[in-house]
Amino acid sequence: MRYIPHTSGDVAQMLGRIGVGSLEELFVEIPASVRLKRPLDLPPALAEGELLRELKVLAGRNATPENHISFLGGGAYQHFIPAAVDQLISRSEFYTAYTPYQPEISQGTLQAIFEFQTLVCQLTGMEVANASMYDGASACAEAALMAVRLTRRRKLLVSRALNPRWRAVITTYCRYVDLDVVEVGFAADGRTDLDDLGAKLDGQTAAVIAGYPNYFGVVEDLAALARLAQGAGAKLVAGVAEGVALGLLKSPGELGADIVAGEGQSFGIPVSFGGPYVGFFAARMKDVRAMPGRLVGETLDRDGKRGFVLTLATREQHIRREKATSNICSNQGLCALTATVFLSLLGKQGLRELAQQNLAKAAYAKAQLGGVEGVTLPFAAPVFNEFVVRTARPVKDLLAVLEQQGILGGIPLGTDYPELADAFLVCVTEQHRRNDIDVLAQALAGGAA
């Protein structure tokens, strides 16, 4: 095996040094009664070339943007990735390193995380950000738990317009810790229903949690949500599923959010069937000790030189054990690096231009699709790069017809929203050419709708 260097001569010599006669003797402490008495039943080992052939066969059985025009979004977005991103994160000093517990030989990782934390603060308009979470959904669940710690209240108000899979993760995290998760409806324009929220807010509410933009691509009125939540002594958690939107939209911090939990996949990370992605998590400095996850801080070495270390670890599982703010340990370090490289390349102008392109393409698509007979756009509120389309024809049939034309038309909404059984979610990014959008509109006009 090419990954294992031992020759039979090495093994014999090493056994001799240990003072045992066979490899078997090294395992004497494992009782015979719990031993496996047969070889593992696994497929035969493959040589490198064979393995790649087999993987390419698997790859050939998937729909991708190479063989389909795809309008899928809903929390994972197809954006352009500059070549330099993968080249840099493929430096094996980065990707084969462990968690930077030994700062003197981990300064590369540590400085990059410090830069990531800074970029997240700048994007979200918040004061402090951590080293990353598993993904946007789990970050949002952790934000909910942090709000509970901060307020010592037990009720969470979650907007029904927040990504339904994120809501599901919040429910999972809250399942057994005596928390009340209550849904707040959405209004006719696609934004969280402020009246419903007002009616459900009370002295027990720890947090109001809403998407920005929400699952329908709609830009929520975060300032209004913040006023209401904070008026009742609750925290506002903004969940950002599409990070690129922050290139253009007012930052959640500016609008009054207390905690921002987001998904950074759009920043240079391939969609990769759902992961690995990177959750980002930002808050106010006064609340830093209630935050989950790792934090990197600046300090000096013995010679007075600037350096970086993991810090405020007394919040974390390995020190605080059952009293820790979270059990998170490994997070998504390399994906945080990816986002850092991507955002460095795009920079101040590039991120804004990218966001404007997404906005423009979605606006164009909305206009084209909205003009097709049988298609309506149910929500009037402004959107970023996704929007909901309602059709006369059953969504399942319609998407099947589109599929036959090589188009993945969008995500059907009926499973998560019975009230939107006749609707689906269309995502348009800078990767779509005008022609791709026209093809979708024509397919709908040509009878699909």
Partner 1 sequence: MIVGTSGLVLNEKLLFEHSDAGRKGYSLTPLDVPAADLPDGLCREEIAGFPELSEVDVVRHFTRLSTWNYGVDSGFYPLGSCTMKYNPKVNELAARLPGLADVHPATPDHLAQGTLAMMYELQTMLAEISGFAAVSVQPAAGAHGELAGMLTVRAWHEAQGSKRRKVLIPDTAHGTNPATAALAGYEVVPIASEGVLTLEEVEAHMTDEVAALMVTNPNTLGLFETNIAAICELVHARGGLVYCDGANLNALLGIARPGDMGIDVMHFNLHKTFATPHGGGGPGSGPVGVSAALAPFLPGPRVVRDGEAFRFVGTQESVGRMLAFHGNFGIMLRAFAYIRSMGAAGLKHATEMAVLNANYVRARLEGGYHLPYATRSLHEVVFSDRDLPNDCHTLDVAKRLIDYGYHPPTIYFPLVVKGAIMIEPTETESQETLDEFCDAMLAIAKEAEMSPDLLHAAPVRTRTRRLDETAAARQPRLRWEER
Residues within window 336-375 making contact with partner 1, judged by CB under 8 A = 337, 340-341, 343-354, 356-357, 359-364
Residue 318 interacts with partner 1 (CB under 8 A): yes or no: yes
Within 8 A by CB and 6+ apart from 246, the residues are: 123, 124, 240, 262, 355
**Residue 104 binds partner 1, judged by CB under 8 A:** yes
Contact call for residues 369 and 261 (beta carbons, < 8 A): no
> At closest approach, how far in Å is the CB of 199 from partner 1?
26
Q: Does position 251 bind partner 1 by CB under 8 A?
A: yes
Q: Pseudo-torsion of CA 326, 329, 330, 332, nearest 10°? A: 30
Does residue number 30 form part of the binding site for partner 1 (CB under 8 A)?
Answer: yes
Q: Which of 8, 305, 373, 404 binds partner 1 (CB under 8 A)?
A: 305
Is 19 a binding residue for partner 1 by CB under 8 A? The answer is yes
Binding mask 58-87 for partner 1 (x = CB under 8 A): xxxxxxxxx-x-x-xxxxx-x-x-x-x-xx
The residue within the footprint of partner 1, chosen from 8, 56, 373, 404 (CB under 8 A), is 56
Please select the residue that binds partner 1; options are 21, 31, 152, 404, rule is CB under 8 A: 31
Q: Which is nearer to partner 1, 165 or 233 (CB)?
A: 165
Confirm or reject binding of residue 166 to partner 1 (CB under 8 A).
Answer: yes
Question: What's the min distance (Å) between Cβ of 398 and partner 1?
Answer: 13
299: contact with partner 1 by CB under 8 A: yes
b/e map of 215-231 (b: 16 or more CB within 10 Å)? bbbbbbbbeebbebbee
396 to 425, contacts with partner 1 by CB under 8 A? 399, 403, 408, 411
Q: Which is nearer to partner 1, 41 or 373 (CB)?
A: 41
Residue of the chain from 115, 242, 258, 386 that contacts partner 1 (CB under 8 A): 115
Closest CB to partner 1 among residues 131, 157:
131
- Give the β-pairing of 279-283 and 306-311: unpaired
Query: Which of 234, 233, 231, 236 lies closest to 252, judged by CA?
Result: 236
Q: In angstroms, rounded to a whole number, what is the distance separating the alpha carbons of residues 322 and 336? A: 27
Cβ distance to partner 1 smaller for residue 374 or 382: 382
Please answer whether residues 247 and 351 qualify as being in contact, where contact means their C-beta atoms are separated by less than 8 angstroms: yes
Measured from the CB atom, is 106 or 151 closer to partner 1? 106
How many residues appear in the chain? 449
Burial class from Cβ neighbours inside 10 Å (0-12, 13-18, 19+) for residue 97 reads middle
Of 171-179, 187-195, 197-205, 372-380, the segment contacting partner 1 by CB under 8 A is: 171-179
Nearer to partner 1, 121 or 143 (CB): 121
Q: Residue 29: helix, strand or coil by DSSP? A: coil
Task: Using CB under 8 A, pick the residue from 8, 21, 152, 176 that binds partner 1.
Answer: 176
Please report, as a single letter, which amino acid is at residue 270.
P
Name which position in 8, 21, 41, 404 contacts partner 1 (CB under 8 A).
41
> Binder to partner 1 among 97, 187, 377, 439 (CB under 8 A)?
97
- For residue 203, give every residue at least 6 positions away whose Cβ sits within 8 Å of its Cβ, in sequence order, or none: 153, 232, 233
Q: What does the alpha-carbon distance between residue 264 and residue 335 come to, in Å, rounded to a whole number?
A: 8
Tell me which residue has tokens 């393409």: 361
Residues 186-205 that bind partner 1 (CB under 8 A): none
List 111, 376, 405, 442, residue binding partner 1 (CB under 8 A): 111
CA 160: distance to chain centroid? 19
* Whole-number Å distance between alpha carbons of 215 and 227: 22
388's tokens: 């909901």
Q: Kindly state whether residue 12 participates in binding partner 1, applying the rule CB under 8 A.
A: no
- Rounded to an integer, what distance in angstroms lies between the CA atom of residue 164 and that of residue 400? 23
